[in-house]
């Protein structure tokens, strides 16, 4: 239907050109056309841009609903205003603003970021409410509800008239935008994408969940403080009530409407948020815009109806919300009285109908129209290298115990694995194999007993610590980083080396051709191999594979056996949990057998297979069989 | 006993009785959290809308006894609506969108209330006698007693229904495992909707018993949501009657800090308690620890 234009341009380059053009135009605006009111709006838009880019770090990238951003903005504003009152030079005042938001933000982040979802939203909401109370009540410093006035300072010797101040804000926005993009597209950004999908896996692979969350939150808080400082200088008058819940809702509207996880989205959101109050005051313009929005919303359900299907909730709900807004625009006696309601309806339509916001939708259209040149794939280098040399024990678990309520999942287990060995761990379902691996890898904290990995004792109950001691693991239930590509999944786990080494790891597991495929689009078997590659990319000393062949097809199992053999040949110690006895027999030097939380046998695969205790665990003993028979007999009689 | 101590005790008792109403709103959180692991960030708005509905019904001449059940039905309908419009889709997609959507629906509720009933606080007429009862020198007003008995009564009623009716047991089954419940022939979606409707009805009822003490206004919503959250989180989102204790403690602390530190700081202890509880014991004082599974 559409003709795709091939510009031979990479997407990154195209974005950069567009961004530079945008800033050039914005900077040129006041030269072409003079108007104090318009200039004020543009300045406000730049300030909101900085603020929303910061909010996007938590709401977009971390995927957590952060309700403290408006309060942090307020703290930054008050910090800067108080600094200016004591006649501090402007750059320093901006720094004070940043610190005023960053320090309380960090105090909040440390406890709050251990939480997820509603609990996180709640703690930020209470922080925000507390902040407004604090600003209102500390009258001796903030002048309370009466408000605080400041005079706009000059930048060194330059007097900041409104045009110059606008340029300053624009410059700050440009730098923030560029820095955010750099930060969030680096390994740091990949880690944040990854931890949103599986915080357990990011910890187990040594990426560090909490550390990245705190940094992202701190980055967002610092930007809120910076924006607050600019806001204070721009307006010259501050009141605590301005930084309350109402502002927070408007900021959320901006980020969600503009598009999450996208600096363009934050900018678009800032533009919408700035213009919205002015739109409401011009009724004709507002009604026509709402009508236009309504028509846009109605397109997709009508298309579904035309193909004789029922439109989904996702398609109908925005129509209902926009219809409500249209009714208000046409019939309400005073639209501005309904401000909050109209915001709510817009937000509702945006969250349900446009999950990627305006920027997301426009990007999707652009990608359809323009055919961008793909990024070239790097050449694979590296591969499995011998792990650090060592002798003696690679892994020692001493008298490990773990109970869940009354169930002893792991009961006094001692396991010693020699360096370079491939050690099998088998046992019937529910015998405690995965719990044992969870104890060794630090997902659970043992009730008693200790773990030593290559001579290092990791902190019990810390995945990160076990990983840095040299262990890496895969998961029985897959923990893929759905939002990342295969190549990115490896890169985020690497502690050494760059993109070509990452490609090398994909080559090792035979996924080279699928490097640019998203994990959400990969097959189950491929994801299992990708998990092994991820674990290998951390350069482990001990590799723990938790049922790698579960659910795999026969050809994949053959591939897997070849892969594990080559890992073994490189000298990496392996602990293999597996139900496929042929795989265990082929790969393992020694095998431990667990039943009912205890180790019941240890030896070579053949020895173990002949052990009567093992046979009993898998098939039941003659005695229990006789007992069962007699019980059934008694019931029949 | 000196006079100062008596005044403090008076504050604590008054606050504690009010705290039972917070416990009732928090109980609404528990109901929906158990059923679908989601809570309504606009629960305070439901309380406010319930109170306003009651007020309007009394205004058109309905007696208090008839107005309260009708307001509860309206609350149930609103609760059902919130689940259908804001929660179901986001929970199916397993993302946090529902937090935003419930906030949004609540915001619309506030705006609608502002335009329908006005921005000012209004008194709420009740048939209780004037004056107060005295116990050991501490006076308790009739509306306060109504809060305590009403809140406890509704919670007890719902708990009994949950335990001894087929419908209640079905809802419990869904909260344990929605998929398994579906396999046993229970409609999980309906059970979750029911929980939200009951939660909405409880919120509306809370509105009709709180309003006589605090007056009704659009601004009452936001503060109430937070207080109820504090109670629910401190007690634990799955703890049952731990709520009542947490509610009483929070209500008393609020009154005492308002008295000792100044009225602006009234809400501070609840909020600090909430952050501390979340940081130190996210599962709540009476809640069970969650085990991560892989």
Domains and CATH numbers, chain A: 46-147+168-243 (no CATH), 393-627 (3.40.50.300)
Binary contact (B278, A339; C-beta < 8 A)? no
The residue in chain A having the minimum alpha-carbon distance to the alpha carbon of residue B283 is A119
Mean pLDDT of all residues in B112-128: 88
The residue in chain B having the minimum alpha-carbon distance to the alpha carbon of residue A63 is B96
pLDDT at A632 over 60: no
A629 by Cβ neighbours in 10 Å (0-12 / 13-18 / 19+) ranks as: exposed
Which residues of chain B have a CB within 8 Å of the CB of A352? 89, 101
Among the partner-chain residues A111, A351, A443, the one whose CB lies closest to the CB of B100 is A351
CA distances from A390 to A419, A441, A569 (A): 7, 20, 15
Question: Residue A384: which region, alpha, beta or left (left: phi > 0; alpha: psi -120 to 50)?
Answer: beta
Mean pLDDT of all residues in B47-52: 94
Say which residue, A387 or A98, is predicted with more confidence.
Answer: A98
Quick one: pLDDT at residue A265? 92
Q: What is the pTM of this model?
A: 0.87
Which residues of chain A have a CB within 8 Å of the CB of B29? none
Q: Would you state the torsion angle of the CA atoms of residues B6, B11, B16, B22, taken in this order, to the nearest 10 degrees?
A: 180
- Per-residue pLDDT band at B291 (split at 50, 70, 90): low
May I ask the CATH architecture of the domain B3-280? Orthogonal Bundle (1.10)
Binary contact (A115, B282; C-beta < 8 A)? yes
Binary contact (A475, B115; C-beta < 8 A)? no
The C-alpha of A394 sits at a distance from chain B's nearest C-alpha, in angstroms, of 24
Binary contact (B262, A137; C-beta < 8 A)? yes
Mean pLDDT of all residues in B270-286: 77
**A485: closest CA among A518, A509, A510, A529?**
A518
Answer for the pair B19, B180: CB distance below 8 angstroms, yes or no. no
Distance from C-alpha of A442 to C-alpha of A420, rounded to nearest angstrom: 22
Quick one: pLDDT at residue A34? 76
Q: Averaging pLDDT over each range in A399-408, B192-201, B231-240, which range is the top one? A: B192-201
Quick one: pLDDT at residue A388? 62
Q: pLDDT digit string (tens) for A251-271? A: 988 998 888 888 999 999 999
User: Which residues of chain A from 308 to 327 reach within 8 Å of chain B, CB to CB?
Assistant: 313-314, 317
Quick one: pLDDT at residue A390? 65
How many Cβ atoms from other residues are within 10 Å of residue A183's Cβ? 16
| Segments making up each domain of chain B, as ranges | 3-280
Judge whether A348 is closer than 8 Å to chain B, CB to CB: yes
Q: pLDDT digit string (tens) for A143-195? A: 888 888 888 887 777 777 888 999 999 999 999 999 999 988 888 889 998 98
Distance from C-alpha of A575 to C-alpha of A595, rounded to nearest angstrom: 17
Quick one: pLDDT at residue A286? 86
- Per-residue pLDDT band at B2 (split at 50, 70, 90): confident
Binary contact (A126, B226; C-beta < 8 A)? yes
Quick one: pLDDT at residue B5? 83
Quick one: pLDDT at residue A1? 46
Say which residue, B78 or A627, is predicted with more confidence.
Answer: B78
Say which residue, A392 or B14, is predicted with more confidence.
Answer: B14
Binary contact (B278, A252; C-beta < 8 A)? no
- Per-residue pLDDT band at A402 (split at 50, 70, 90): very high
Q: pLDDT digit string (tens) for A238-252? A: 999 899 888 998 898
The C-alpha of A479 sits at a distance from chain B's nearest C-alpha, in angstroms, of 8
Which of A20-24, A362-366, B284-288 shows the lowest per-residue confidence on average (mean pLDDT)? Answer: B284-288
Which residues of chain B have a CB within 8 Å of the CB of A245? 222
In a mutagenesis test of the B interface, which of A248, A329, A344 is the best target, namely the one with the most B β-carbons within 10 Å? A344
pLDDT at A47 over 90: yes
Which residues of chain B have a CB within 8 Å of the CB of A355? 97
Distance from C-alpha of A615 to C-alpha of A580, rounded to nearest angstrom: 16
Residue B248 CA from chain centroid, whole number = 13
Binary contact (A137, B264; C-beta < 8 A)? yes
pLDDT at A121 over 80: yes
Binary contact (A133, B97; C-beta < 8 A)? no
Q: pLDDT digit string (tens) for A286-326? A: 889 899 989 988 888 888 888 888 888 888 888 999 999 99
Q: Helix, strand, or coil here: A249?
A: helix
């Amino acid at each position: 239907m559409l003709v795709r234009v091939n510009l031979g341009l990479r997407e990154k380059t195209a974005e950069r050109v567009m961004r530079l053009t945008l800033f050039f135009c914005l900077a040129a605006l006041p030269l072409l056309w003079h108007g104090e009111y318009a200039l004020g709006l543009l300045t406000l838009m730049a300030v909101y841009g900085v603020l929303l880019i910061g909010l996007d770090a938590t709401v977009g990238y971390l995927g957590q609903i952060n309700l403290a951003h408006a309060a942090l903005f307020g703290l930054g504003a008050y910090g800067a205003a108080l600094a200016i009152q004591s006649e501090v030079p402007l750059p320093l005042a901006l720094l004070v603003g940043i610190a005023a938001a960053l320090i309380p933000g960090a105090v909040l982040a440390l406890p709050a970021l251990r939480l997820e979802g509603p609990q996180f939203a709640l703690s930020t909401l209470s922080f925000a409410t507390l902040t407004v109370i604090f600003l209102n009540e500390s009258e001796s410093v903030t002048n309370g509800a009466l408000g605080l006035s400041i005079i706009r300072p000059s930048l060194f010797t330059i007097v900041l008239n409104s045009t110059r101040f606008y340029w300053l804000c624009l410059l700050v926005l440009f730098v923030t935008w560029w820095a955010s993009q750099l930060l969030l597209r680096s390994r740091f950004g990949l880690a944040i994408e990854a931890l949103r999908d599986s915080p357990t896996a990011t910890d187990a692979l040594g990426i560090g969940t909490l550390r990245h969350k705190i940094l992202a939150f701190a980055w967002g808080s610092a930007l809120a403080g910076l924006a607050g400082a600019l806001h204070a200088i721009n307006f010259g008058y501050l009141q605590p009530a301005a930084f309350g819940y109402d502002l927070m809702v408007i900021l959320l509207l901006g980020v969600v409407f503009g598009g999450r996880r996208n600096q363009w989205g934050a900018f678009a959101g800032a533009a919408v948020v700035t213009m919205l109050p002015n739109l409401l005051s011009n009724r004709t313009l507002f009604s026509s815009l709402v009508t236009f929005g309504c028509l846009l919303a109605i397109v997709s359900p009508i298309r579904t109806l035309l193909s004789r299907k029922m439109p989904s909730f996702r398609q109908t709900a925005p129509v209902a919300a926009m219809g409500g807004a249209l009714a208000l625009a046409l019939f309400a006696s005073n639209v501005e009285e309904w401000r909050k309601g109209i915001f709510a309806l817009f937000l509702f339509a945006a969250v349900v109908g446009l999950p990627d916001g305006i920027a997301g939708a426009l990007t999707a259209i652009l990608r359809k129209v323009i055919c961008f040149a793909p990024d070239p794939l790097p050449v694979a280098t590296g591969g499995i290298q011998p792990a650090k040399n060592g002798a003696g024990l690679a892994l020692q678990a001493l008298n490990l115990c773990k109970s869940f309520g009354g169930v002893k999942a792991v009961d006094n287990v001692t396991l010693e694995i020699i360096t370079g060995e491939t050690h099998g761990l088998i046992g019937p379902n529910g015998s405690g194999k995965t719990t044992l691996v969870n104890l060794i890898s630090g997902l659970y904290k043992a009730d008693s007993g200790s773990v030593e990995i290559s001579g290092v004792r990791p902190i019990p109950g810390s995945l990160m610590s076990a990983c840095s001691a040299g262990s890496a693991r895969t998961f029985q239930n897959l923990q893929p980083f759905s939002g990342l590509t295969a190549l990115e999944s490896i890169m985020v786990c690497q502690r050494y080396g760059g993109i070509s080494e990452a490609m090398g790891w994909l080559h090792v597991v035979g996924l080279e051709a699928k490097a640019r495929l998203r994990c959400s689009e990969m097959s189950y078997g491929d994801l299992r191999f990708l998990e092994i590659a991820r674990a290998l990319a951390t350069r482990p000393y001990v590799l723990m594979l938790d049922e790698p062949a579960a659910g795999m097809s026969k050809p994949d199992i053959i591939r897997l056996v070849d892969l594990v053999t080559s890992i073994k040949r490189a000298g990496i110690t392996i602990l293999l949990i597996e139900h496929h006895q042929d795989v265990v027999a082929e790969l393992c030097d020694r095998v431990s057998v667990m039943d009912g939380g205890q180790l019941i046998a240890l030896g070579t695969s053949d020895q173990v297979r002949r052990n009567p205790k093992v046979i009993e665990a898998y098939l039941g003993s003659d005695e229990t069989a006789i007992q069962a028979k007699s019980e059934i007999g008694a019931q029949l009689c | 006993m000196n006079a100062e101590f008596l005044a403090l005790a008076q504050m604590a008792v008054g606050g504690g009785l009010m705290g039972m109403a917070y416990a009732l709103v928090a109980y609404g959180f528990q109901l929906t959290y158990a059923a679908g692991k989601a809570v309504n960030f606009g629960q305070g708005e439901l309380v406010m809308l319930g109170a306003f509905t009651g007020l309007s019904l009394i205004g058109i001449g309905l007696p208090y006894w008839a107005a309260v059940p009708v307001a509860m039905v309206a609350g149930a309908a609103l609760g059902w609506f919130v689940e259908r419009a804001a929660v179901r889709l986001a929970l199916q997609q397993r993302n946090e969108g529902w937090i935003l959507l419930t906030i949004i629906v609540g915001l619309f509720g506030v705006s609608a209330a502002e335009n329908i009933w006005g921005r000012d606080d209004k008194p709420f007429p009740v048939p209780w006698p004037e004056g107060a009862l005295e116990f050991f020198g501490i006076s308790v007003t009739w509306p306060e007693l109504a809060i305590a008995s009403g809140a406890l009564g509704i919670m007890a009623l719902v708990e009994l229904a949950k335990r001894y009716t087929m419908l209640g047991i079905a809802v419990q089954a869904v909260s344990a495992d929605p998929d398994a419940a579906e396999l046993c022939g229970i409609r999980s979606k309906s059970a979750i909707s029911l929980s939200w409707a009951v939660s909405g009805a409880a919120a509306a009822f809370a509105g009709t018993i709180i309003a006589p003490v605090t007056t009704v206004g659009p601004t009452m919503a936001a503060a109430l949501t937070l207080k109820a959250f504090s109670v629910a989180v401190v007690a634990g989102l799955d703890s049952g009657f731990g709520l009542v204790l947490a509610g009483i403690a929070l209500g008393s602390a609020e009154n005492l800090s308002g008295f000792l530190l100044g009225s602006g700081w009234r809400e501070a202890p609840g909020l600090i308690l909430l952050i501390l509880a979340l940081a130190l014991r996210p599962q709540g004082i009476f809640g069970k620890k969650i085990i991560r599974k892989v």
